[in-house]
Amino acid sequence: MQTSARNVLKGTIRNLTHGAVNTEVVIEIAPGVEVVSIITKASAERLGLVVGSTAYAIVKASDVMVGAD
C-alpha cells in the first residue's frame, strides 16, 4: 500500500458497527488507544474488514486542531 499521507497509524480492528449506509470502525493503535472512523458500508465490505485483523488509520488533513487546559 502506498499513500501520500504522512500520518499512517497501524493497528488492530477492535469493533465494527454496521448501519444501513455507514460502518463505524474502531482501530486500536496502542494498548488502550483507539482511533474511530465512519466509512461507507460499501467501503468496509470492499476492504474485507473483520474484527481482529490489521488495518491502518490514515490521516491527511490540511489543519489539525490542538487544545490544552
CATH tag, 7-58: 2.40.50.100
**Cell of residue 69, nine digits:** 487546559
Per-residue model confidence as pLDDT tens digits over 25-39 = 999 999 999 999 999
Low-confidence ranges of the chain (pLDDT < 70): none
- Tell me the pTM: 0.85
Q: Where do the domains of the chain lie?
A: 7-58
Q: Please give the Cα distance from 56 to 1 (Å, whole number).
A: 10
Q: Please give the Cα distance from 11 to 25 (Å, whole number).
A: 11
Sign of the C-alpha dihedral, residues 56, 13, 64, 42?
A: positive
Q: Nearest 5°: CA angle at 56, between 30 and 60? A: 105
Other C-beta atoms within 10 Å of 22: how many? 16
